[in-house]
Amino acid sequence: MKNINKIIYSLPLFLIQSAYSKEDKPMNIIFIMSDDHAIQAISAYGNPVSKLAPTPNIDKIAHDGAIFNNNYCCNSISGPSRAAIITGKHSHKNGFMKNWAKGFDNTQQTLPKILQKNGYQTAIIGKWHLVSKPTGFDYWIVLNDQGEYNNPDFITEKDTVQYKGYVTDIITDITKKWLDSRDKNKPFFLMMHHKAVHRNWVPAEKYYHLYENIKFPLPENYYDDYTGRIAASKQKMNIYRDMYEGHDLKMVTGTNSDTLLYDPWPQAFMNRMTPDEKNRFFEAYRKRNNDFYASPKNEKEIAEWKYQRYLQDYLAVVKSVDDSVGEILEYLKENGLDENTLVVYTSDQGFYLGEHGWFDKRFMYEESMAMPMVMACPSIIRPGTKINQLTQNIDFAPTFLDLCGIEIPADMQGISFKPLLEGKKVKNWRKYLYYHYYEFPGFHSVRAHYGIKGKRYKLIHFYKDNNWELYDLKTDPHEMNNIFGKPGTEKITYKLKTELKKLQQTYQVPEELCR
C-alpha cells in the first residue's frame, strides 16, 4: 500500500481514482477535538457525573468503533498538545513547549503537510492556538487565540470576521459547508477544533437551564489538603479559591443585579453579547443567583455551591459539543461518507471537575494527563473495540499516516496504533509514557515537571525544587498518597528512574530542559 501510494500520488488525479480498487479507496479523516473536555464528562467512560449529563453522540462513536482507556497527552496544555498532535513529536522536538511561547515553527514537517503532499485535501476549522499562521491546510478558518463563545471572531488568510451566534454551532456549520464544497475527487483530512469546553464555560442560550436543577456528586477529594505533595499545594486552580466569581461562575453583585462579580476579561464574554443577549443571559441566571443571596452561607456551602455552578455550566457547554458530533455523524451518513471516513473525537488534554478541588489541567496526575478518545470507521474498526494499551497524542500523526497508507517519517516519535484499531495483538507494545510540562511561571502556578507513567506506577519530578512523587495507581487511583521515599518502594523507584532516563535518551530531551 505504501508503495502504491507513492506511485499513484505522482499520477494525475483521474488516474489516481481509477488506480484504486473499491477497497483501496483512500480513507478520509475527520479529527474532532474539543478543548478541555474531561473523561469524567463523557458518558461512554461511565463516570458518575457523566451519567447525569450524558453524551449520546460521542458514545455512539465509541459504540460503533473504539474507545481508548489509556490515552494520554505528553504535555497537558493546549498549544503544546496541538503541536504534538500535528508533528508526532514531544514538545522539546517540535519547539512549542508552552502556550506562552513564540509561535509554532510553521515551516516544520507536519501531518497535514504530508497528507497534502500525498493528494489529500486538508482543512482546519476552529481553535488553532499555535500563534503562527496555519500551514499545510488548503482551507483554514481559525479562532483568535482562545476564541469567544458568543459572536466570535474568525481569522482567515484574508481578514478577521465576526460571526453571529454560538461558537460551537458556527464551527459545525462552517465544517458542513466545507464538506459540501470540497473537491469530491480527493480524500480529505479535516481538523474540526471546538473552543468549547474551555473556560469560562458559557452554555448556548438554549441550554442555560439544562442542568440548573441537577446536583452533581462531589468528588471525594474535593477538600484535598495536598499533604505530601508540595507542588499541588502551591497551585492556583482551586474552584472555591481561584475561580473568578463573575467571569467563571456568573455570580452577580446582589439580589436582582445584572452586574457580574469579578470578570477580568469582559471583552471575551459580556462585551461579545448584544444588549438583548445580555438581558436574556441575566434573566436565565436570575432565580439561581437570587437564591444564592436568599440565605447566608458558610464557607463550605459556598465551596459546594461553586462546584455545582461550575459543573452545571461546564456540562451544558458539553451538550452543544455532543450535538455537534451528532450533526457531523448524520452528515456523513446522509452523504455516504460513513463507511470510509475515520471519525475521531478527542480533547487537547484532560481536565479537573473538582478532583483535588480543582479546575484546569497541567499536572501529570490522571485527570489532566488523560485524553478522552473514541474513533470509528466501519471498514477497519470493529464495533465495541476497547484499547487498553498506553497511547499518547504523539501517536496520532503516525497512526493517521499509516491508516492512509503513507510512509511514516523516521523522525516522528509516536507509534502507529493502527494494529490496535484492527484488533491485532501487538507484542512488546510500549510500557511507559514520557510527560513533560514546562509552563512555569504561568497561569495557575503549576511547577514544571517531567515524569514517567506505566499502567500501575507513576513517577514525577518537579525538577526546579527537586521534589519527587511516586504513586501506585492500583491502590491510590486518585493520587493522594505520595509514596516516594517510603520503605518498600526502593525497587520500583529504581526501576522507574532507570526507565525515565531511557525515555529521555530515546526522545533526546536536552539536559538543560530537565533542571
Q: How far apart are CA 455 and CA 463, in angstroms?
A: 23
C-alpha cell at 316: 451544558
CB of 351 to Ca ion, least distance (A): 8
- CB-wise, 35 or 355, nearer to Ca ion? 35
- CB-wise, 36 or 338, nearer to Ca ion? 36
- CB-wise, 347 or 385, nearer to ligand SGN? 347
Say if CB 268 and CB 144 are below 8 A apart. Answer: no
CB of 347 to Ca ion, least distance (A): 7
Q: Which residue is nearest to Ca ion, using beta carbons?
A: 78
Q: Answer left, alpha or beta for residue 187, where phi above 0 means left and psi between -120 and 50 means alpha.
A: beta
- Binding residue for Ca ion, selected from 35, 248, 263, 367, defined by CB under 5 A: 35
CB of 247 to ligand SGN, least distance (A): 6
CB of 317 to Ca ion, least distance (A): 13
Q: Which amino acid is at 321?
A: V
- CB-wise, 40 or 118, nearer to ligand SGN? 40
- Taking only Cα atoms into account, the Rg of the chain, rounded to an integer number of angstroms, comes to 23
Work out what residue 20 binds among ligand SGN, Ca ion, none; the CB cut-off runs from 5 to 8 Å by kind: none
Q: Is 63 exposed, middle or buried (0-12, 13-18, 19+ CB in 10 A)?
A: middle
The phi and psi torsions of 508 (rounded to 5 degrees) equal: 55, 55
Ordered DSSP codes for 93-108: HHS---TTSSPP-TTS
CB of 150 to Ca ion, least distance (A): 19
93-118: buried (b, 16+ CB within 10 Å) or exposed (e) per residue? bbbbbbbebeebeeebbbbbbbbbeb
- CB-wise, 36 or 224, nearer to Ca ion? 36
Work out what residue 313 binds among ligand SGN, Ca ion, none; the CB cut-off runs from 5 to 8 Å by kind: none
- CB-wise, 93 or 198, nearer to ligand SGN? 198
- Count of other CB atoms within 10 angstroms of residue 170: 21
Helices (H), 75-198: 78-87, 91-94, 111-117, 167-181
C-alpha cell at 106: 510553521
- CB-wise, 35 or 313, nearer to ligand SGN? 35
CB of 265 to ligand SGN, least distance (A): 6
- CB-wise, 178 or 345, nearer to ligand SGN? 345
3-state DSSP helix/strand/coil percent for the chain, to nearest 5? 35, 15, 50
- Binding residue for Ca ion, selected from 40, 76, 78, 413, defined by CB under 5 A: 78
CB of 79 to Ca ion, least distance (A): 9
Partners of 343 in the β-ladder: 30, 376
Work out what residue 443 binds among Ca ion, ligand SGN, none; the CB cut-off runs from 5 to 8 Å by kind: ligand SGN
Which span (179-187, 221-229, 261-269, 342-350) binds Ca ion, by CB under 5 A?
A: 342-350
- CB-wise, 35 or 224, nearer to ligand SGN? 35
Which span (32-40, 124-132, 273-281, 448-456) binds Ca ion, by CB under 5 A?
A: 32-40
- Count of other CB atoms within 10 angstroms of residue 248: 23
Any contact of residue 439 with Ca ion (CB under 5 A)? no
Any contact of residue 348 with Ca ion (CB under 5 A)? yes
C-alpha cell at 130: 499555535
Question: Binding residues for ligand SGN, per CB under 6 A?
Answer: 35-36, 77-78, 99, 129, 146, 198-200, 265, 360, 443-444
Partners of 436 in the β-ladder: 450
C-alpha cell at 460: 514525577
Work out what residue 193 binds among Ca ion, ligand SGN, none; the CB cut-off runs from 5 to 8 Å by kind: none
> What letter would DSSP give residue 252?
B
- The residues near 466 (Cβ < 8 Å, ≥ 6 apart) are none
- CB-wise, 65 or 350, nearer to Ca ion? 350
Say if CB 66 and CB 376 are below 8 A apart. Answer: yes
Work out what residue 200 binds among Ca ion, ligand SGN, none; the CB cut-off runs from 5 to 8 Å by kind: ligand SGN
Q: Residue 200: is the preceding peptide bond cis (ω within 30°)?
A: yes
Q: How far apart are CA 189 and CA 323, in angstroms?
A: 21
- CB-wise, 186 or 447, nearer to ligand SGN? 447
Work out what residue 224 binds among ligand SGN, Ca ion, none; the CB cut-off runs from 5 to 8 Å by kind: none
CB of 145 to Ca ion, least distance (A): 12
Work out what residue 309 binds among Ca ion, ligand SGN, none; the CB cut-off runs from 5 to 8 Å by kind: none
Say if CB 43 and CB 52 are below 8 A apart. Answer: no
CB of 77 to Ca ion, least distance (A): 7
Q: Which residue is nearest to ligand SGN, using beta carbons?
A: 78
**Residue ranges binding Ca ion (CB under 5 A):** 35-36, 78, 348
